[in-house]
């Protein structure tokens, strides 16, 4: 079965002048494990198509006309050797890129890219400030939805708290919220409000 995750946020960019280096890094990663990686078969770089290669790892990416590679979402709810992938491609990734995941047990962690390196940051959402009564918790979360902060990073963190609390209350499954956020974080918020209102 494996460990299930939800990609709460992904904002990874690879500039056109790094594509050759990216290809070399991916080839080295492929050759480093003749038996492949968890959920990834060996020889994943055979096609040499960037979009297809990352699809093998469960990531949907787009490539602009100028060659820029942008990660759109994580298509799989299974967690494999993704950390090895991020560590391998880090030298080619644009500074400031990041990926934020939430595990099935509520654990949060983030990968941040800077100066050609990948740094893992562990964390957790603290729900201790929520009221004890579930009805009051739902009201509290609904109130939070009316005070969403500006800026994509703060908005995502705020939404992550709301969705994490909803999951802990059994109001929404991780894969459902993953689908909500895949459309857009605004869609994720709208779905959260819809579910919270149905339980208020």
Return d(Cα 129, Cα 143) in angstroms, integer. Answer: 14
Q: What is the share, in percent, of the chain residues with pLDDT greater than 90?
A: 54
Distance in angstroms (rounded) separating the CA atoms of residues 190 and 51: 30
Question: Would the CA dihedral through 33, 34, 39, 41 be positive or negative?
Answer: positive
Please name which of 12, 156, 157, 10 lies closest in space to residue 97, comparing C-alpha atoms: 12
**pTM over 0.85, yes/no:** no
Q: For residue range 136-172, what is the model confidence (pLDDT) as tens digits?
A: 888 888 988 988 888 777 788 788 888 888 887 888 8
Structure confidence at residue 112 as a pLDDT band (50, 70, 90): very high
Instruction: Supply the pLDDT for residue 105.
Output: 67
pLDDT tens digit sequence for 60-107: 999 999 999 999 988 887 899 999 999 999 999 999 999 988 777 667
Give residue 61's pLDDT.
96
Q: Which residue has the tokens 């494990």?
A: 33
Q: What is the mean pLDDT of the chain?
A: 88
Share of the chain above pLDDT 70, in %: 93
- Smallest CA-to-CA distance from 51 within 68, 27, 33 is with 68
Angle between helix 134-145 and 185-198 (nearest 10): 150
């Amino acid at each position: 079965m494996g460990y299930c995750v939800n990609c709460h946020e992904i904002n990874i960019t690879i500039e056109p002048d790094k594509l050759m280096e990216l290809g070399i890094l991916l080839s080295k990663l492929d050759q480093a494990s003749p038996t492949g990686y968890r959920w990834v078969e060996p020889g994943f770089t055979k096609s040499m198509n960037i979009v297809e290669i990352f699809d093998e790892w469960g990531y949907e990416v787009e490539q602009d006309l100028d060659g820029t590679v942008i990660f759109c979402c994580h298509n799989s709810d299974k967690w494999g050797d993704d950390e090895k992938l991020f560590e391998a491609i880090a030298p080619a990734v644009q500074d400031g890129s990041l990926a934020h995941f939430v595990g099935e047990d509520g654990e949060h962690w983030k990968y941040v890219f800077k100066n050609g390196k990948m740094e893992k940051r562990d964390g957790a959402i603290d729900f201790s400030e929520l009221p004890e009564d579930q009805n009051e918790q739902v009201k509290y979360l609904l109130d939070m939805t009316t005070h969403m902060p500006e800026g994509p990073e703060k908005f995502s963190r705020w939404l992550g708290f709301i969705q994490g609390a909803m999951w802990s209350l059994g109001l929404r499954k991780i894969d459902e919220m993953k689908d909500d956020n895949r459309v857009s974080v605004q869609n994720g918020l709208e779905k959260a409000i819809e579910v919270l209102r149905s339980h208020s």
